[in-house]
Structure 1
Amino acid sequence: MDDLETRELRYFVAVAEELHFGRAAERLGIAQPPLSRAIRQLERRLGVQLLSRNRRVVALTDAGRVLLRESRVALDAVTAAARRTRRAGNEQQALVLVTKAGASHELLQRLLALSAADTDTAPVDVVLCEVGEQARFLRSGRADVALMHRPVDDLAGFDTADLHTEGQVALLPSGHPLAARPQLTLEDVSNVPDLPIARWPRLDGSYPDGPGPEVHTQSQLAQLVALGKTLLVIPASSRAWQWPDHVAVPVVDAPVITTVLAWSAGHHSSALAALVRAAAQIRDTP
Protein backbone atom coordinates (compact mmCIF):
# COMPACT_ATOMS: atom_id res chain seq x y z
CA MET A 1 0.00 0.00 0.00
CA ASP A 2 1.57 3.28 -1.14
CA ASP A 3 -0.67 5.76 0.70
CA LEU A 4 1.17 7.75 3.35
CA GLU A 5 -0.42 9.85 6.07
CA THR A 6 0.84 13.33 6.89
CA ARG A 7 1.18 12.22 10.53
CA GLU A 8 3.62 9.48 9.46
CA LEU A 9 5.62 11.94 7.38
CA ARG A 10 5.84 14.43 10.25
CA TYR A 11 7.01 11.69 12.60
CA PHE A 12 9.65 10.54 10.13
CA VAL A 13 10.90 14.07 9.38
CA ALA A 14 11.32 14.77 13.10
CA VAL A 15 13.42 11.62 13.59
CA ALA A 16 15.39 12.18 10.38
CA GLU A 17 16.25 15.75 11.33
CA GLU A 18 17.04 15.06 14.98
CA LEU A 19 18.67 11.63 14.38
CA HIS A 20 17.58 10.85 17.92
CA PHE A 21 14.26 9.26 18.89
CA GLY A 22 14.12 10.93 22.30
CA ARG A 23 14.61 14.44 20.95
CA ALA A 24 12.21 13.78 18.07
CA ALA A 25 9.51 12.56 20.49
CA GLU A 26 9.99 15.64 22.65
CA ARG A 27 9.74 17.88 19.57
CA LEU A 28 6.50 16.16 18.53
CA GLY A 29 5.04 16.18 22.03
CA ILE A 30 4.57 12.41 22.19
CA ALA A 31 6.17 9.53 24.06
CA GLN A 32 9.14 7.73 22.50
CA PRO A 33 7.69 4.18 22.31
CA PRO A 34 4.76 5.05 19.99
CA LEU A 35 7.14 7.08 17.81
CA SER A 36 9.49 4.11 17.48
CA ARG A 37 6.56 1.84 16.63
CA ALA A 38 5.28 4.29 14.01
CA ILE A 39 8.67 4.39 12.26
CA ARG A 40 8.96 0.57 12.29
CA GLN A 41 5.44 0.28 10.84
CA LEU A 42 6.33 2.80 8.14
CA GLU A 43 9.41 0.80 7.19
CA ARG A 44 7.37 -2.42 7.01
CA ARG A 45 4.73 -0.80 4.82
CA LEU A 46 7.32 0.62 2.42
CA GLY A 47 9.44 -2.53 2.50
CA VAL A 48 12.70 -0.62 3.01
CA GLN A 49 14.94 0.38 5.91
CA LEU A 50 14.80 4.14 6.43
CA LEU A 51 17.10 4.42 9.42
CA SER A 52 20.10 2.44 10.60
CA ARG A 53 20.16 2.23 14.38
CA ASN A 54 22.39 0.98 17.13
CA ARG A 55 22.63 1.91 20.79
CA ARG A 56 24.52 5.11 20.11
CA VAL A 57 23.81 6.26 16.56
CA VAL A 58 20.78 6.81 14.32
CA ALA A 59 21.59 7.46 10.65
CA LEU A 60 19.60 7.83 7.44
CA THR A 61 19.87 5.14 4.78
CA ASP A 62 19.75 6.06 1.09
CA ALA A 63 16.02 5.30 1.11
CA GLY A 64 15.62 7.44 4.23
CA ARG A 65 17.32 10.41 2.56
CA VAL A 66 14.91 10.13 -0.36
CA LEU A 67 11.88 9.97 1.93
CA LEU A 68 13.14 12.95 3.94
CA ARG A 69 13.41 15.06 0.81
CA GLU A 70 10.02 13.95 -0.52
CA SER A 71 8.35 14.30 2.89
CA ARG A 72 9.44 17.91 3.21
CA VAL A 73 8.01 18.68 -0.21
CA ALA A 74 4.73 16.91 0.57
CA LEU A 75 4.29 18.54 3.98
CA ASP A 76 5.08 21.96 2.54
CA ALA A 77 2.44 21.38 -0.15
CA VAL A 78 -0.22 20.43 2.41
CA THR A 79 0.58 23.46 4.57
CA ALA A 80 0.64 25.72 1.52
CA ALA A 81 -2.79 24.48 0.38
CA ALA A 82 -4.30 25.44 3.73
CA ARG A 83 -2.63 28.86 3.84
CA ARG A 84 -3.52 29.76 0.25
CA THR A 85 -7.11 28.65 0.74
CA ARG A 86 -7.46 30.92 3.78
CA ARG A 87 -5.98 33.85 1.88
CA ALA A 88 -8.23 33.21 -1.13
CA GLY A 89 -11.24 33.53 1.16
CA ASN A 90 -10.17 36.99 2.33
CA GLU A 91 -10.36 39.60 -0.42
CA GLN A 92 -8.57 42.16 1.78
CA GLN A 93 -5.61 39.86 2.39
CA ALA A 94 -2.25 41.38 1.47
CA LEU A 95 0.04 39.70 -1.05
CA VAL A 96 3.11 38.39 0.78
CA LEU A 97 6.44 38.96 -0.98
CA VAL A 98 9.60 37.39 0.41
CA THR A 99 13.09 38.54 -0.49
CA LYS A 100 16.63 38.08 0.74
CA ALA A 101 17.54 40.89 3.14
CA GLY A 102 19.77 43.45 1.45
CA ALA A 103 19.31 42.08 -2.08
CA SER A 104 17.76 43.93 -5.04
CA HIS A 105 16.76 46.86 -2.82
CA GLU A 106 16.24 49.41 -5.60
CA LEU A 107 14.29 46.90 -7.70
CA LEU A 108 12.05 46.14 -4.74
CA GLN A 109 11.36 49.83 -4.19
CA ARG A 110 10.41 50.27 -7.85
CA LEU A 111 8.23 47.16 -7.83
CA LEU A 112 6.34 48.28 -4.73
CA ALA A 113 5.83 51.79 -6.14
CA LEU A 114 4.47 50.48 -9.45
CA SER A 115 2.28 47.98 -7.64
CA ALA A 116 0.81 50.68 -5.39
CA ALA A 117 -0.06 52.73 -8.47
CA ASP A 118 -2.14 49.87 -9.94
CA THR A 119 -5.70 50.01 -8.62
CA ASP A 120 -6.11 46.23 -9.10
CA THR A 121 -3.22 45.36 -6.82
CA ALA A 122 -3.69 44.27 -3.22
CA PRO A 123 -1.39 45.65 -0.51
CA VAL A 124 2.02 43.95 -0.50
CA ASP A 125 3.61 42.78 2.74
CA VAL A 126 7.38 42.30 2.54
CA VAL A 127 9.08 39.49 4.47
CA LEU A 128 12.89 39.53 4.68
CA CYS A 129 14.75 36.23 4.84
CA GLU A 130 18.26 34.82 4.73
CA VAL A 131 20.07 33.45 1.67
CA GLY A 132 18.26 30.61 -0.11
CA GLU A 133 15.11 30.68 2.05
CA GLN A 134 12.72 32.13 -0.52
CA ALA A 135 11.91 28.77 -2.12
CA ARG A 136 10.83 27.28 1.20
CA PHE A 137 8.60 30.29 1.92
CA LEU A 138 6.87 29.84 -1.43
CA ARG A 139 6.50 26.07 -1.21
CA SER A 140 5.08 26.23 2.30
CA GLY A 141 2.57 28.95 1.40
CA ARG A 142 4.10 31.46 3.81
CA ALA A 143 4.64 33.77 0.83
CA ASP A 144 2.81 34.29 -2.46
CA VAL A 145 5.71 35.64 -4.48
CA ALA A 146 9.46 36.12 -4.12
CA LEU A 147 12.41 38.01 -5.50
CA MET A 148 14.96 35.35 -6.45
CA HIS A 149 18.12 35.05 -8.50
CA ARG A 150 18.96 32.86 -11.47
CA PRO A 151 21.11 30.72 -11.62
CA VAL A 152 21.93 30.61 -7.89
CA ASP A 153 18.46 30.08 -6.35
CA ASP A 154 16.27 26.99 -6.52
CA LEU A 155 13.54 27.86 -9.06
CA ALA A 156 12.18 24.34 -9.61
CA GLY A 157 8.38 24.34 -9.74
CA PHE A 158 8.05 28.12 -9.99
CA ASP A 159 6.84 30.45 -12.71
CA THR A 160 9.05 33.51 -13.13
CA ALA A 161 9.20 36.97 -14.67
CA ASP A 162 12.64 38.45 -15.32
CA LEU A 163 13.32 41.87 -13.78
CA HIS A 164 17.00 42.72 -14.18
CA THR A 165 20.33 41.15 -15.21
CA GLU A 166 23.63 42.30 -13.73
CA GLY A 167 27.23 41.33 -13.08
CA GLN A 168 28.81 40.33 -9.79
CA VAL A 169 31.32 41.90 -7.42
CA ALA A 170 33.71 40.58 -4.81
CA LEU A 171 33.04 42.00 -1.37
CA LEU A 172 36.39 42.37 0.40
CA PRO A 173 37.80 43.88 3.59
CA SER A 174 38.92 47.40 2.73
CA GLY A 175 42.51 46.85 3.85
CA HIS A 176 43.19 43.78 1.70
CA PRO A 177 45.49 44.17 -1.37
CA LEU A 178 42.76 42.85 -3.72
CA ALA A 179 40.50 45.73 -2.66
CA ALA A 180 42.81 48.18 -4.49
CA ARG A 181 42.35 46.46 -7.87
CA PRO A 182 39.95 47.94 -10.46
CA GLN A 183 38.62 44.47 -11.34
CA LEU A 184 39.12 40.80 -10.49
CA THR A 185 38.56 37.36 -12.01
CA LEU A 186 37.10 34.24 -10.44
CA GLU A 187 40.60 32.76 -10.37
CA ASP A 188 41.80 35.80 -8.39
CA VAL A 189 39.18 35.38 -5.68
CA SER A 190 39.33 31.58 -5.59
CA ASN A 191 43.01 31.43 -4.67
CA VAL A 192 43.48 33.78 -1.72
CA PRO A 193 45.03 31.76 1.15
CA ASP A 194 44.39 34.44 3.78
CA LEU A 195 40.84 35.22 2.59
CA PRO A 196 38.89 32.02 1.73
CA ILE A 197 35.41 32.30 0.22
CA ALA A 198 32.59 31.91 2.74
CA ARG A 199 30.50 28.72 2.53
CA TRP A 200 26.70 28.80 2.53
CA PRO A 201 24.61 25.74 3.43
CA ARG A 202 23.20 23.58 0.65
CA LEU A 203 19.47 22.88 0.38
CA ASP A 204 19.85 19.86 2.69
CA GLY A 205 21.61 21.96 5.34
CA SER A 206 25.09 20.54 4.75
CA TYR A 207 28.06 22.72 3.81
CA PRO A 208 30.38 22.27 0.82
CA ASP A 209 33.98 21.38 1.57
CA GLY A 210 36.50 24.17 1.72
CA PRO A 211 38.61 26.35 4.03
CA GLY A 212 36.15 29.25 4.22
CA PRO A 213 33.98 29.86 7.29
CA GLU A 214 30.47 28.37 7.45
CA VAL A 215 27.85 31.13 7.46
CA HIS A 216 24.07 31.17 7.40
CA THR A 217 23.16 34.84 7.94
CA GLN A 218 24.22 38.00 6.15
CA SER A 219 25.06 39.72 9.43
CA GLN A 220 27.58 36.94 10.19
CA LEU A 221 29.03 37.33 6.73
CA ALA A 222 29.28 41.12 6.88
CA GLN A 223 31.23 41.01 10.12
CA LEU A 224 33.57 38.24 8.96
CA VAL A 225 34.40 40.22 5.80
CA ALA A 226 35.05 43.37 7.86
CA LEU A 227 37.35 41.35 10.16
CA GLY A 228 39.37 40.08 7.20
CA LYS A 229 38.27 36.46 7.63
CA THR A 230 36.46 35.85 4.33
CA LEU A 231 35.24 37.27 1.03
CA LEU A 232 32.21 36.59 -1.14
CA VAL A 233 31.01 37.12 -4.69
CA ILE A 234 27.53 38.66 -4.95
CA PRO A 235 25.29 40.50 -7.45
CA ALA A 236 26.37 44.11 -7.76
CA SER A 237 23.05 45.43 -6.43
CA SER A 238 23.49 43.50 -3.16
CA ARG A 239 26.08 46.04 -2.13
CA ALA A 240 23.19 47.95 -0.53
CA TRP A 241 24.08 46.28 2.79
CA GLN A 242 27.88 46.63 2.63
CA TRP A 243 29.68 48.23 5.54
CA PRO A 244 32.23 51.10 5.40
CA ASP A 245 34.84 48.40 6.15
CA HIS A 246 33.97 46.62 2.86
CA VAL A 247 35.08 47.30 -0.71
CA ALA A 248 33.23 45.92 -3.77
CA VAL A 249 35.35 45.07 -6.84
CA PRO A 250 33.80 43.86 -10.14
CA VAL A 251 34.48 40.19 -11.00
CA VAL A 252 34.58 40.36 -14.77
CA ASP A 253 34.12 36.66 -15.60
CA ALA A 254 31.55 35.76 -12.93
CA PRO A 255 28.20 34.46 -14.27
CA VAL A 256 25.60 37.17 -14.73
CA ILE A 257 22.73 37.13 -12.25
CA THR A 258 19.11 37.68 -13.25
CA THR A 259 16.70 38.88 -10.57
CA VAL A 260 13.27 37.34 -11.12
CA LEU A 261 9.82 37.57 -9.62
CA ALA A 262 8.86 33.96 -8.77
CA TRP A 263 5.64 32.27 -7.67
CA SER A 264 4.34 28.71 -7.42
CA ALA A 265 3.39 27.29 -10.82
CA GLY A 266 -0.37 27.21 -11.24
CA HIS A 267 -0.97 29.81 -8.51
CA HIS A 268 -3.10 32.58 -10.04
CA SER A 269 -4.93 35.56 -8.57
CA SER A 270 -5.80 39.07 -9.72
CA ALA A 271 -3.41 40.53 -7.13
CA LEU A 272 -0.55 38.35 -8.37
CA ALA A 273 -1.35 39.21 -12.00
CA ALA A 274 -1.15 42.92 -11.15
CA LEU A 275 2.25 42.47 -9.50
CA VAL A 276 3.50 40.57 -12.56
CA ARG A 277 2.36 43.51 -14.72
CA ALA A 278 4.42 45.82 -12.51
CA ALA A 279 7.38 43.48 -12.98
CA ALA A 280 6.97 43.70 -16.76
CA GLN A 281 7.16 47.49 -16.55
CA ILE A 282 10.48 47.25 -14.73
CA ARG A 283 11.85 44.77 -17.25
CA ASP A 284 10.84 46.97 -20.18
CA THR A 285 12.36 50.13 -18.68
CA PRO A 286 16.02 50.71 -19.66
Structure 2
Amino acid sequence: METRELRYFVAVAEELHFGRAAERLAMAQPPLSRAIQQLERRLGVVLLHRTARAVTLTEAGSVLLREARTALDAVEAAERRTRRTAADQPGVVLAAKAGASSELLSNLLDAYAAEPGAVAVEVMLCGPGEPESLLSTGHADVALLHRPYDTTAGFDTEDLHTEQQVVVLPAGHPLATRTQLSMAEVNGLTDLPLPRWPRRDGSYPDGHGPQVRDHTQLTQLITLGRACAVMPESLGAQLRDDHAIVPVPDAAAVTTVIAWPPHSRSQAVADLVRTATRISKAARS
Protein backbone atom coordinates (compact mmCIF):
# COMPACT_ATOMS: atom_id res chain seq x y z
CA MET A 1 0.00 0.00 0.00
CA GLU A 2 1.09 3.54 -0.73
CA THR A 3 0.84 6.40 1.73
CA ARG A 4 -1.32 8.23 -0.82
CA GLU A 5 -3.87 5.39 -0.73
CA LEU A 6 -3.86 5.37 3.07
CA ARG A 7 -4.50 9.13 3.18
CA TYR A 8 -7.39 8.71 0.76
CA PHE A 9 -8.88 5.89 2.80
CA VAL A 10 -8.51 7.72 6.14
CA ALA A 11 -10.27 10.78 4.70
CA VAL A 12 -13.22 8.69 3.48
CA ALA A 13 -13.34 6.61 6.67
CA GLU A 14 -13.38 9.70 8.89
CA GLU A 15 -15.87 11.68 6.80
CA LEU A 16 -18.02 8.65 5.83
CA HIS A 17 -18.90 10.64 2.74
CA PHE A 18 -17.01 10.56 -0.57
CA GLY A 19 -17.94 14.13 -1.50
CA ARG A 20 -16.69 15.64 1.76
CA ALA A 21 -13.57 13.47 1.67
CA ALA A 22 -12.82 14.64 -1.89
CA GLU A 23 -13.18 18.28 -0.80
CA ARG A 24 -10.88 17.64 2.16
CA LEU A 25 -8.28 16.12 -0.16
CA ALA A 26 -8.74 18.86 -2.79
CA MET A 27 -9.49 16.33 -5.53
CA ALA A 28 -12.41 15.19 -7.64
CA GLN A 29 -14.72 12.47 -6.32
CA PRO A 30 -14.49 9.91 -9.20
CA PRO A 31 -10.72 9.28 -8.89
CA LEU A 32 -11.11 9.04 -5.11
CA SER A 33 -13.79 6.38 -5.50
CA ARG A 34 -11.61 4.48 -7.99
CA ALA A 35 -8.63 4.61 -5.62
CA ILE A 36 -10.66 3.12 -2.76
CA GLN A 37 -12.03 0.38 -5.04
CA GLN A 38 -8.50 -0.42 -6.20
CA LEU A 39 -7.33 -0.61 -2.58
CA GLU A 40 -10.17 -3.03 -1.75
CA ARG A 41 -9.30 -5.22 -4.76
CA ARG A 42 -5.64 -5.32 -3.80
CA LEU A 43 -6.43 -6.28 -0.19
CA GLY A 44 -9.21 -8.66 -1.19
CA VAL A 45 -11.60 -7.25 1.41
CA VAL A 46 -14.54 -4.85 1.57
CA LEU A 47 -13.56 -1.78 3.56
CA LEU A 48 -16.72 0.29 3.19
CA HIS A 49 -20.41 -0.47 2.87
CA ARG A 50 -21.91 1.96 0.37
CA THR A 51 -25.60 2.72 -0.06
CA ALA A 52 -27.42 5.61 -1.68
CA ARG A 53 -27.81 7.20 1.75
CA ALA A 54 -24.75 6.31 3.75
CA VAL A 55 -21.17 5.06 3.85
CA THR A 56 -20.17 2.88 6.80
CA LEU A 57 -17.01 1.04 7.80
CA THR A 58 -16.81 -2.72 7.75
CA GLU A 59 -14.92 -4.51 10.52
CA ALA A 60 -11.93 -4.79 8.18
CA GLY A 61 -12.25 -1.09 7.40
CA SER A 62 -12.17 -0.21 11.11
CA VAL A 63 -8.94 -2.21 11.51
CA LEU A 64 -7.34 -0.49 8.53
CA LEU A 65 -8.38 2.94 9.82
CA ARG A 66 -6.55 2.34 13.12
CA GLU A 67 -3.47 0.93 11.39
CA ALA A 68 -3.45 3.60 8.67
CA ARG A 69 -3.52 6.42 11.23
CA THR A 70 -0.54 4.86 13.01
CA ALA A 71 1.35 4.37 9.74
CA LEU A 72 0.70 7.91 8.53
CA ASP A 73 1.72 9.32 11.90
CA ALA A 74 5.00 7.39 11.62
CA VAL A 75 5.69 8.73 8.12
CA GLU A 76 4.89 12.28 9.22
CA ALA A 77 7.10 11.89 12.29
CA ALA A 78 10.02 10.61 10.20
CA GLU A 79 9.77 13.61 7.87
CA ARG A 80 9.68 16.16 10.70
CA ARG A 81 12.46 14.62 12.78
CA THR A 82 14.70 14.24 9.73
CA ARG A 83 14.31 17.94 8.90
CA ARG A 84 14.98 18.93 12.52
CA THR A 85 18.12 16.81 12.64
CA ALA A 86 19.43 18.55 9.54
CA ALA A 87 18.73 22.04 10.92
CA ASP A 88 21.64 24.45 11.32
CA GLN A 89 20.92 24.76 15.04
CA PRO A 90 19.72 21.36 16.31
CA GLY A 91 17.43 21.27 19.29
CA VAL A 92 14.84 19.09 20.95
CA VAL A 93 11.09 19.64 21.25
CA LEU A 94 9.43 18.64 24.53
CA ALA A 95 5.62 18.45 24.77
CA ALA A 96 3.83 18.71 28.11
CA LYS A 97 0.30 19.28 29.34
CA ALA A 98 -0.17 22.91 30.38
CA GLY A 99 -0.39 23.19 34.18
CA ALA A 100 0.63 19.58 34.85
CA SER A 101 3.98 18.60 36.38
CA SER A 102 4.99 22.28 36.48
CA GLU A 103 7.63 21.87 39.18
CA LEU A 104 9.06 18.74 37.55
CA LEU A 105 9.22 20.46 34.16
CA SER A 106 10.94 23.53 35.59
CA ASN A 107 13.51 21.43 37.46
CA LEU A 108 14.12 19.29 34.39
CA LEU A 109 14.79 22.26 32.12
CA ASP A 110 17.15 23.88 34.64
CA ALA A 111 19.05 20.65 35.29
CA TYR A 112 19.37 19.78 31.60
CA ALA A 113 20.57 23.30 30.68
CA ALA A 114 23.48 22.79 33.09
CA GLU A 115 24.55 19.57 31.34
CA PRO A 116 27.62 19.64 29.05
CA GLY A 117 26.51 19.62 25.43
CA ALA A 118 22.94 20.69 26.23
CA VAL A 119 20.99 21.95 23.20
CA ALA A 120 18.04 24.33 23.03
CA VAL A 121 14.77 22.85 24.30
CA GLU A 122 11.54 24.09 22.76
CA VAL A 123 8.63 23.48 25.15
CA MET A 124 5.18 22.92 23.66
CA LEU A 125 2.49 23.40 26.32
CA CYS A 126 -0.80 21.94 25.16
CA GLY A 127 -4.14 20.51 26.20
CA PRO A 128 -5.04 17.07 27.58
CA GLY A 129 -4.23 14.24 25.18
CA GLU A 130 -2.18 16.44 22.87
CA PRO A 131 1.39 15.60 24.05
CA GLU A 132 0.87 11.97 23.04
CA SER A 133 -0.35 13.01 19.59
CA LEU A 134 2.50 15.49 19.10
CA LEU A 135 5.00 12.77 19.95
CA SER A 136 3.35 10.29 17.55
CA THR A 137 3.39 12.72 14.63
CA GLY A 138 6.93 13.99 15.14
CA HIS A 139 5.97 17.50 16.23
CA ALA A 140 7.72 16.63 19.51
CA ASP A 141 10.82 14.53 20.22
CA VAL A 142 9.99 13.76 23.84
CA ALA A 143 6.94 14.27 26.06
CA LEU A 144 5.74 14.18 29.64
CA LEU A 145 2.71 11.87 29.75
CA HIS A 146 0.41 10.81 32.55
CA ARG A 147 -0.87 7.26 32.94
CA PRO A 148 -3.71 6.24 32.95
CA TYR A 149 -4.95 9.36 31.14
CA ASP A 150 -2.40 9.14 28.31
CA THR A 151 -1.56 6.08 26.25
CA THR A 152 2.12 5.17 26.33
CA ALA A 153 1.86 2.17 23.98
CA GLY A 154 4.41 2.39 21.19
CA PHE A 155 6.78 4.66 23.14
CA ASP A 156 9.78 4.00 25.34
CA THR A 157 9.17 5.44 28.80
CA GLU A 158 10.71 6.03 32.20
CA ASP A 159 8.48 6.48 35.26
CA LEU A 160 9.21 9.74 37.09
CA HIS A 161 6.56 10.32 39.74
CA THR A 162 3.38 8.66 41.04
CA GLU A 163 0.72 10.50 43.02
CA GLN A 164 -2.83 10.07 44.28
CA GLN A 165 -5.86 11.91 42.94
CA VAL A 166 -8.31 14.39 44.47
CA VAL A 167 -11.71 15.72 43.49
CA VAL A 168 -12.03 19.47 43.01
CA LEU A 169 -15.34 21.01 44.10
CA PRO A 170 -16.68 24.56 44.47
CA ALA A 171 -15.58 25.86 47.88
CA GLY A 172 -19.14 26.11 49.21
CA HIS A 173 -20.33 22.66 48.17
CA PRO A 174 -21.83 20.48 50.98
CA LEU A 175 -19.18 17.78 50.39
CA ALA A 176 -16.27 20.22 50.51
CA THR A 177 -15.72 19.54 54.22
CA ARG A 178 -15.43 15.76 53.83
CA THR A 179 -12.06 14.19 54.61
CA GLN A 180 -12.37 11.90 51.58
CA LEU A 181 -14.79 10.73 48.88
CA SER A 182 -15.05 7.55 46.86
CA MET A 183 -15.21 7.43 43.07
CA ALA A 184 -18.76 6.09 43.37
CA GLU A 185 -19.72 9.22 45.30
CA VAL A 186 -17.99 11.46 42.77
CA ASN A 187 -19.72 9.75 39.86
CA GLY A 188 -23.02 10.16 41.67
CA LEU A 189 -22.78 13.96 41.91
CA THR A 190 -25.66 14.86 39.60
CA ASP A 191 -25.32 18.56 40.44
CA LEU A 192 -21.60 18.54 39.59
CA PRO A 193 -21.02 16.22 36.61
CA LEU A 194 -17.53 15.22 35.53
CA PRO A 195 -16.31 17.04 32.41
CA ARG A 196 -16.02 15.52 28.95
CA TRP A 197 -12.68 15.97 27.21
CA PRO A 198 -12.33 15.76 23.41
CA ARG A 199 -11.12 12.59 21.74
CA ARG A 200 -8.19 12.66 19.36
CA ASP A 201 -10.51 13.30 16.41
CA GLY A 202 -12.08 16.28 18.18
CA SER A 203 -15.38 14.59 19.02
CA TYR A 204 -16.68 14.31 22.59
CA PRO A 205 -17.90 11.16 24.38
CA ASP A 206 -21.59 10.96 25.27
CA GLY A 207 -22.60 12.13 28.73
CA HIS A 208 -24.14 14.92 30.76
CA GLY A 209 -20.99 16.71 31.84
CA PRO A 210 -19.85 19.92 30.14
CA GLN A 211 -17.49 19.78 27.18
CA VAL A 212 -14.10 21.25 28.11
CA ARG A 213 -10.93 21.94 26.14
CA ASP A 214 -8.43 23.19 28.71
CA HIS A 215 -7.66 23.47 32.41
CA THR A 216 -8.63 27.15 32.67
CA GLN A 217 -12.09 26.47 31.27
CA LEU A 218 -12.54 23.54 33.64
CA THR A 219 -11.58 25.45 36.79
CA GLN A 220 -13.98 28.26 35.92
CA LEU A 221 -16.83 25.78 35.42
CA ILE A 222 -16.05 24.31 38.86
CA THR A 223 -16.08 27.79 40.42
CA LEU A 224 -19.50 28.41 38.83
CA GLY A 225 -20.85 25.15 40.28
CA ARG A 226 -21.27 23.50 36.88
CA ALA A 227 -18.78 20.64 37.22
CA CYS A 228 -16.31 18.82 39.43
CA ALA A 229 -13.05 17.18 38.38
CA VAL A 230 -10.78 14.36 39.48
CA MET A 231 -7.12 15.25 39.01
CA PRO A 232 -3.65 14.57 40.43
CA GLU A 233 -3.13 16.13 43.86
CA SER A 234 -0.24 18.29 42.62
CA LEU A 235 -2.52 19.90 40.06
CA GLY A 236 -5.25 20.44 42.64
CA ALA A 237 -2.77 22.18 44.93
CA GLN A 238 -2.34 24.95 42.33
CA LEU A 239 -6.00 26.01 42.50
CA ARG A 240 -7.42 29.09 44.21
CA ASP A 241 -9.35 29.55 47.43
CA ASP A 242 -12.71 29.28 45.65
CA HIS A 243 -12.07 25.56 45.11
CA ALA A 244 -12.16 22.73 47.64
CA ILE A 245 -9.85 19.71 47.38
CA VAL A 246 -11.00 16.33 48.75
CA PRO A 247 -8.88 13.14 48.48
CA VAL A 248 -10.29 10.21 46.51
CA PRO A 249 -8.32 7.18 47.80
CA ASP A 250 -9.84 4.65 45.40
CA ALA A 251 -9.16 6.71 42.26
CA ALA A 252 -6.38 5.32 40.07
CA ALA A 253 -2.96 6.72 40.93
CA VAL A 254 -1.40 8.93 38.24
CA THR A 255 2.15 8.25 37.10
CA THR A 256 4.09 10.92 35.23
CA VAL A 257 6.43 9.42 32.65
CA ILE A 258 8.87 10.79 30.15
CA ALA A 259 8.28 9.20 26.75
CA TRP A 260 10.15 9.12 23.45
CA PRO A 261 10.02 7.11 20.18
CA PRO A 262 11.68 3.69 20.56
CA HIS A 263 13.77 4.21 17.41
CA SER A 264 15.16 7.57 18.55
CA ARG A 265 18.92 7.96 18.20
CA SER A 266 18.99 11.56 19.38
CA GLN A 267 21.71 12.26 21.92
CA ALA A 268 19.74 15.27 23.16
CA VAL A 269 16.69 13.09 23.86
CA ALA A 270 18.85 10.52 25.65
CA ASP A 271 20.44 13.24 27.78
CA LEU A 272 17.06 14.78 28.59
CA VAL A 273 15.66 11.40 29.64
CA ARG A 274 18.71 10.68 31.79
CA THR A 275 18.40 14.07 33.47
CA ALA A 276 14.67 13.56 34.14
CA THR A 277 15.33 10.17 35.70
CA ARG A 278 18.11 11.55 37.86
CA ILE A 279 16.14 14.46 39.29
CA SER A 280 13.05 12.30 39.90
CA LYS A 281 15.14 9.82 41.88
CA ALA A 282 16.69 12.66 43.86
CA ALA A 283 13.23 14.05 44.66
CA ARG A 284 12.08 10.68 46.03
CA SER A 285 15.17 10.17 48.24
The aligned counterpart of 1:55 is 52
Whole-angstrom CA distance in 2 between matches of 1:114 and 1:41: 54
In the TM superposition, residue 255 of structure 1 has moved relative to its aligned partner by: 1.9
Give per-residue Cα distances to partners, 1:124-177, cap 9 Å, x unaligned. Answer: 101112111222211111100000012321000111122211111111122221
Of 88, 93, 98, the match for 1:96: 93
Residues 50-82 of structure 1: CA distance to partner in whole angstroms, max 9, x if unpaired?
A: 122222222222111111111110001111111
Aligned residue in 2 for 1:64: 61
Q: CA deviation at 1:90?
A: 2.9
2:130 aligned with 1:159: no
CA 33–168 in structure 1, closer or farther in 2 if over 3 Å, else same: same
- In the TM superposition, residue 282 of structure 1 has moved relative to its aligned partner by 1.6
Shift of 1:267: 0.8
SS at match of 2:106: helix
Cα pair 1:235 1:257 within 8 Å, conserved: yes
In structure 2, what is the equivalent of residue 130 of structure 1? 127
Shift of residue 208, structure 1, vs aligned partner: 4.5
Question: 1:184 Cα deviation (Å)?
Answer: 1.9
Tell me if 1:236 matches 2:233.
Answer: yes
Structure 2 gap ranges (5+): none
Q: Whole-Å Cα distance in 1 between the matches of residues 157 and 237 of structure 2?
A: 24
Distance change >3 Å, CA 167–CA 91, structure 1 → 2: farther
CA 1:46–1:241 in structure 2 vs 1: closer, same or farther (change >3 Å)? farther
Amino acid at match of 2:277: A
Cα distance, 1:212 vs. partner? Answer: 2.4
Query: Following superposition of structure 1 onto structure 2, how do residues 204-215 of structure 1 map, counting pairs within 5 Å?
Result: 207-215=204-212
Listed as ranges, the matches of 1:148-227 within 5 Å are 148-202=145-199, 207-227=204-224
Give the letter aligned to residue 123 of structure 2.
Answer: V
1:85 aligned residue: 82
Alpha-carbon distance in structure 2 between the residues aligned to 1:76 and 1:168: 32
Q: Is the 8 A contact 1:222 1:243 kept in 2?
A: no
- Between stretches 244-253 and 118-127, larger displacement belongs to 244-253
Native 8 Å contact 1:103 1:240 kept in 2:
no
Q: Residue 119 of structure 1 aligns to a residue in which SS?
A: coil
Structure 1 position 115 matched with structure 2 position 112: yes
Determine the C-alpha separation between the residues in 2 that align with 1:253 and 1:208.
23
How many equivalent pairs are there?
Answer: 283
TM-score, length of structure 2 as denominator length: 0.92
Q: Give the percent of matched residue pairs that are identical in Structure 1 and Structure 2.
A: 60
Q: After the TM superposition, which parts of structure 1 deviate over 6 Å for at least 4 consecutive aligned residues?
A: none
Superimposed CA distance per residue, residues 185-241 of structure 1 (whole angstroms, 9 cap, x where no aligned partner): 222212112112223345566655543234343344233222222211111122366
SS at match of 1:86: helix
* CA spacing shift, 1:178–1:98, aligned 2, 3 Å: same
- Structure 1 residues 244 and 53, CA gap change in structure 2 (3 angstroms): farther
RMSD: 1.9
